[in-house]
Amino acid sequence: MKTGKGLRFTAAGLAGVLALSACGGGDEGSDGPANLRMTVWSANEAHLKLLNEIADEYRKNHPDVSAITFDPLPFENYTTTLTTQIAGGNAPDLAWIFENSAPDFVSSGALLPLDDTLKKAEGYQYDDISPATLKLWQDGGKLYAYPFSTSPFGVFVNTDLLKQAGQKTPAELIAAGQWTWDAALAAAGATQRTTGKAGLVIRDFDYKGWDNLSTFWTGWGAQAWSADGKSCGFAAPEMVDAMTALHKAIFTDKALPGPGTTADFFAGDAAMTVTQISRASLLKEDGFGWDLAPLPAGPKGDYAVVGQAGIGVLKRSKHADAAADFLAFLTNPGNSEKLAQFFPPPRQSQLTAETLAKTNPKLKPEQLQKVVIDGITTGVVKPNHAGQAELSQQVRAGLDPLWKPDADVKAVLDGVCAKIQPLLAK
Amino acid sequence: MSQTDIRVGGAQAPPTPGHTSRPWWTSRRRDQLAGYLFIAPQLLGSLLFVLLPLVLVVWYSLHEWNVLAGTFDFVGADNYTALADDPNLGPVLRATGLFSVGLVVFNLALALLLAVLLNQKLRGTTVFRTIFFSPVVVSLVAWTIVWGFLLQDNGGVNGLLDTIGVDGPNWLRGEGSAMLSVIVVQVFKNVGLNMVLFLAAMQGVPAELYEAAEVDGASRMRQFWRITVPLISPTILLTSIITVVGSLQVFAQIAVLTQGGPGTSTTVLVYYLYQQAFQFHHFGYGATLSILLFGIVLALTVLQWQMRKRWVFHES
């Protein structure tokens, strides 16, 4: 009996201790060597390997930094996860930020101004950074994130599939001065009818990610909202024309796969796809014949659209200065050139076909010039606005009635503006 | 054991003045402490992860919390005023109600039907019970992702319909069909659990009642309504409470299949709460919505519990 009671007592004590220890968290003091963490969207092995190599090199000369960890968060929920980490008191020291959340982060005061650190860094050549790429990341004359990746949109083409359908390739159309959306959609529709495969896919749109449609409507001179962000642009005549053309291409010509239908270009399921050039890494060596073309001209002529991502330092990081110093090292001219193979740099001296060709073996110099360099220097950034998540949800819900064969395009777009104008006017 | 202790204790003479009192560290206190230590892990867990968040949610709902700027300002009842004025709340509550009613009706009806069918003494019923129960143990997200593929316009469901000459709708893109799809996916996922509960209850109904009914000439249908249903009514109450509460917590299916669309037709309360708090960063308003959800769940549960007196005939 006595032994039984003792055992019971000890077991209960152990259970209590276990519970208490389970509730205890790790402890990372602010004193001592800094342990830096940076959230990134990519879990790509090659991306992380290069980032880790640069971090290791940095740590050799910085004993005050004990570790630099790159923490990949899933792309789909990246910003939500990041802000939840911040809300939970677990903010990273550095964070990758997408263009659609740039205005929120930049204007919130959450990020550390970087101008002084970057300008003072040895051999940094701050003036080499293209001013056009900095615009999104500045507020009140201060830079709050470094434009780490400025990736233009282009059209990847499955030349085998187009030839099988008896269609001209974009290269041939470009040579003939006929590379327009009309021609691209006609080729896409014909390929779909002949081969049964999808014609053209606007990647990551899938009837939800509407901001990717800016790669289409910018050709008509349309925009989601005015430059000052105050007025809705969905009901404008340019947008109505663009969306009417898109609606016809989807439901009449079948040039794009319809709602609820998936087709992966990189698996050989589609003739063309509009996406960022960084997706070239998805092309297989022994796959189909392919090409990369700039976006086709719209009624308003040639244009380019870019997606941007910046890296910022969180002000509430315990080691914000060390993090800013590491960012200066990560983006110095030498490392920027290394990173250019994955992330097109904002440095003007590196935006040459020769430099980019060294690290982009899959792309030809003329592709790099037409799509990447011209795109970065002249491109319009994808839609971005303060409170973008809420706006984005309202636009998605507002556009849903458009994705039916008998939709009234003008009425739907008027409805979108009715939904988002109060948010824009805030 | 405790009865013996009490009797022995009760037989002891009361301590007389001048005598030393009983030692404080008695075996009874030791047992009590052991008991408390045993429940400590559960108690601490509940305090930290249930009770504390509940209190914090009320606190958050009185504040405007800007996560990025790091500000946390007291706004009093502003979030509750915003809730009353929110033009999205009507459609959201309508979608929530539609989902709950659809789920409860389909789930309970199908579970009861399956239980009746599988309660027969026939060969192979165990195999069917296993088949219908197996989705319950499958990962919810995996189950939903697979259904997402099946319900695409060119997916498996329409492929199957095509073989019998039916042109199926674009399930997840139509406002009515999207809600129906989400309900059906959820019903198939969990119907096995309610089916097992109904089966267990049916097997507890005394066989002599049916024998007596047969002697009296009652038909099978009459036996079902007059004997089975009244005697399993406590289980019907239990399953309906579980299903109603579960239906109000639906999230993963919406997030994976429709993201609240098309339009806002499948934006149920929990998904709207998630959007407000974690996507739009309105944490204070999100907390207010969660209090509304808490109130609805509480009210429905109390209502069902009160109503049991009317329709639960046999409560042990």
Helices within A315-400 (DSSP H only): 320-330, 333-339, 353-359, 365-367, 374-378, 388-399
Q: Give the pLDDT band of residue A379 (cuts 50, 70, 90).
A: confident
Three-class DSSP category at A104: helix
pLDDT at B24: 86
Residue that wins the pLDDT comparison between B167 and A249: A249
Q: Check whether B268 has a pLDDT greater than 70.
A: yes
Q: Check whether B261 has a pLDDT greater than 80.
A: yes
Q: Check whether A347 has a pLDDT greater than 60.
A: yes
- Reading the block at residue A206, the tokens are 């899938």
Chain B closest CA to A187's CA: distance in Å?
23
Q: Give the pLDDT band of residue A26 (cuts 50, 70, 90).
A: very low
Q: For residue A180, what are the β-bridge partners? A: A297
- Reading the block at residue B169, the tokens are 């709708």
- Interface check for A262 against chain B (CB to CB < 8 A): the answer is yes
State what percent of residues in chain B have pLDDT above 70: 91
Q: Report CA dihedral (B176, B182, B188, B192) to the nearest 10 degrees.
A: -120
The answer to whether B40 contacts A207, with C-beta atoms less than 8 Å apart, is: no
- Interface check for A1 against chain B (CB to CB < 8 A): the answer is no
- Interface check for A83 against chain B (CB to CB < 8 A): the answer is yes
Residue B57 in any domain: the answer is no
What is the distance between the alpha carbons of residues A347 and A130, in angstroms, rounded to a whole number? 6
- Reading the block at residue A298, the tokens are 């719209």
Q: Check whether B11 has a pLDDT greater than 90.
A: no
pLDDT at A282: 81
Chain B closest CA to A141's CA: distance in Å?
19
pLDDT at A12: 47
Residue that wins the pLDDT comparison between B5 and B87: B87
pLDDT at B20: 62
Q: Check whether A24 has a pLDDT greater than 90.
A: no
Q: Which residue of chain B has the CA closest to A108?
A: B69
Residues A69-103: tens digit of each pLDDT? 999 999 888 999 999 899 888 999 999 999 989 99
- Confirm if B155 and A264 have CB atoms less than 8 A apart: no
Q: Check whether A355 has a pLDDT greater than 80.
A: no
Q: Which of A8, A19, A393 sits opposite B44 (nearest CB)?
A: A19
Return the exposure string of A107-122: e unless at least 16 CB atoms fall within 10 Å of the residue's CB, then b: ebebbbbbeebbeebe
Q: Which residue of chain A has the CA closest to B172?
A: A260
pLDDT at A117: 95
CA distances from A262 to A52, A250, B148, B180, B272 (A): 35, 13, 11, 22, 27
Q: Which of B45, B152, B278 sits opposite A80 (nearest CB)?
A: B278
- Confirm if A107 and A142 have CB atoms less than 8 A apart: no
Q: Which residues contact A243 (CB under 8 A, 6 or more apart)?
A: A217, A402, A409, A413
Q: Which of A19, A105, A401 sits opposite B68 (nearest CB)?
A: A105
Would you tell me how many other CB atoms lie within 10 Å of the CB of residue B34?
Answer: 16
Q: Which of A84, A110, A404 sits opposite B70 (nearest CB)?
A: A110
Q: Check whether A235 has a pLDDT greater than 60.
A: yes
The structural domains of chain A, with segments of one domain joined by +, span 34-151+307-381, 153-305+384-424
Chain B closest CA to A19's CA: distance in Å?
5
Tell me the whole-structure pTM to 2 decimals: 0.83
Q: Give the pLDDT band of residue B19 (cuts 50, 70, 90).
A: low
What is the distance between the alpha carbons of residues A183 and A155, in angstroms, rounded to a whole number? 13
Asked if B106 and B154 sit in the same domain, the reply is yes
Asked if B163 and B254 sit in the same domain, the reply is yes
Asked if B145 and B36 sit in the same domain, the reply is no
Residue with tokens 């276990």: A18
Domain termination residue (choose one: B50, B65, B94): B50
- Reading the block at residue A23, the tokens are 């509730």
* pLDDT, mean of residues A260-289: 87
Residues B174-206: tens digit of each pLDDT? 888 999 999 999 999 999 999 999 999 999 999
- Confirm if B196 and B206 have CB atoms less than 8 A apart: no
Chain B closest CA to A389's CA: distance in Å?
6
The answer to whether B34 contacts A9, with C-beta atoms less than 8 Å apart, is: yes
Q: Which of A16, A23, A86 sits opposite B68 (nearest CB)?
A: A86
Chain A closest CA to B53's CA: distance in Å?
13
* pLDDT, mean of residues A314-328: 94
What is the distance between the alpha carbons of residues B87 and B315, in angstroms, rounded to a whole number? 44
Q: Give the pLDDT band of residue B102 (cuts 50, 70, 90).
A: very high
Please report, in angstroms and rounded to a whole number, the separation of the first and last CA atoms in chain B: 27
DSSP state string for A122-185: TT--GGGB-HHHHGGGEETTEE-SEEEEEEEEEEEEEHHHHHHTTPPPHHHHHHTT--BHHHHH
Asked if B107 and B248 sit in the same domain, the reply is yes
Q: Which of A11, A109, A396 sits opposite B69 (nearest CB)?
A: A109
> Do A34-151+307-381 and A153-305+384-424 fold alike per CATH?
yes
Residue B71 in any domain: the answer is no
Reply yes or no: is the peptide bond before residue A361 cis, omega within 30 of 0. Answer: no
Domain that holds residue B37: 24-50
Task: Name which of A332, A383, A365, A422 is nearest A57 in CA terms.
Answer: A332
DSSP state string for A234-284: TTSHHHHHHHHHHHHHHHTS--S--TT----GGGT-EEEEEEEGGGGGGS-
pLDDT at B59: 96
Residue B38 in any domain: the answer is yes
Residue B65 in any domain: the answer is no
* pLDDT, mean of residues A394-422: 95
CA distances from B235 to A197, B114, B129, B210 (A): 53, 15, 18, 19
Asked if B151 and B264 sit in the same domain, the reply is yes
CATH ID of A34-151+307-381, from 1.20.120.790, 3.40.190.10, 3.30.70.3270, 3.30.465.10: 3.40.190.10
CATH number of A153-305+384-424: 3.40.190.10
Q: Give the pLDDT band of residue A370 (cuts 50, 70, 90).
A: confident
Q: Check whether A200 has a pLDDT greater than 90.
A: yes
Q: Check whether B73 has a pLDDT greater than 70.
A: yes
- Reading the block at residue A163, the tokens are 């030839």
Asked if B45 and B125 sit in the same domain, the reply is no
Asked if B33 and B136 sit in the same domain, the reply is no
Chain A closest CA to B36's CA: distance in Å?
8
* Chain A (22-81) residues lying within 8 Å, Cβ to Cβ, of chain B: 22-23, 80
Chain A closest CA to B265's CA: distance in Å?
9
Q: Give the pLDDT band of residue B7 (cuts 50, 70, 90).
A: very low
pLDDT at B84: 95
Q: Which of B48, B173, B281 sits opposite A260 (nearest CB)?
A: B173
- Interface check for B260 against chain A (CB to CB < 8 A): the answer is yes
Q: Check whether B50 has a pLDDT greater than 60.
A: yes
Q: Give the pLDDT band of residue A18 (cuts 50, 70, 90).
A: very low
Q: Which residue of chain A has the CA closest to B37?
A: A12
CA distances from B141 to A136, A355, B228, B257, B260 (A): 37, 45, 36, 10, 16
Please report, in angstroms and rounded to a whole number, the separation of the first and last CA atoms in chain A: 74
Q: Give the pLDDT band of residue A138 (cuts 50, 70, 90).
A: very high
Size of interface A-B (CB pairs under 8 A): 105
* pLDDT, mean of residues A340-357: 85
Q: Check whether A356 has a pLDDT greater than 80.
A: no
- Interface check for B177 against chain A (CB to CB < 8 A): the answer is no
What is the distance between the alpha carbons of residues A221 and A268, in angstroms, rounded to a whole number? 32
Mean pLDDT taken over chain B: 89
- Overall domain count for chain B: 2
Residue B7 in any domain: the answer is no
Mean pLDDT taken over chain A: 88
* Chain B (279-298) residues lying within 8 Å, Cβ to Cβ, of chain A: 279-281, 283
Looking at residue B181, which CATH number applies to its domain? Answer: 1.10.3720.10
Beta strand A146-158 with A290-293: parallel, antiparallel or unpaired?
antiparallel
Q: What is the ipTM of this complex?
A: 0.81
pLDDT at A400: 94
The answer to whether A393 contacts B40, with C-beta atoms less than 8 Å apart, is: no
The DSSP letter of residue A332 is S
Residues in chain A with CB shorter than 8 Å from the CB of B279 are 80, 389-390, 393
- Confirm if B247 and B103 have CB atoms less than 8 A apart: yes
Chain A closest CA to B242's CA: distance in Å?
29
- Reading the block at residue B248, the tokens are 């109000």
Asked if B214 and B122 sit in the same domain, the reply is yes
CA distances from A53 to A49, A60, A65, A346 (A): 6, 11, 15, 21
- Interface check for A5 against chain B (CB to CB < 8 A): the answer is yes
- Interface check for B264 against chain A (CB to CB < 8 A): the answer is yes
The answer to whether A259 contacts B263, with C-beta atoms less than 8 Å apart, is: no
Q: Which of A87, A390, A400 sits opposite B280 (nearest CB)?
A: A390
- Interface check for B171 against chain A (CB to CB < 8 A): the answer is yes
Q: Which residue of chain B has the CA closest to A5?
A: B31
Residue A264: half-sphere exposure toward Cβ, Cα within 13 Å: 5
Residue type, A64: D
The answer to whether B68 contacts A207, with C-beta atoms less than 8 Å apart, is: no
Q: Give the pLDDT band of residue B124 (cuts 50, 70, 90).
A: confident
Asked if B212 and B302 sit in the same domain, the reply is yes
Q: Report CA dihedral (A133, A134, A139, A145) to the nearest 10 degrees.
A: 110
pLDDT at A17: 43
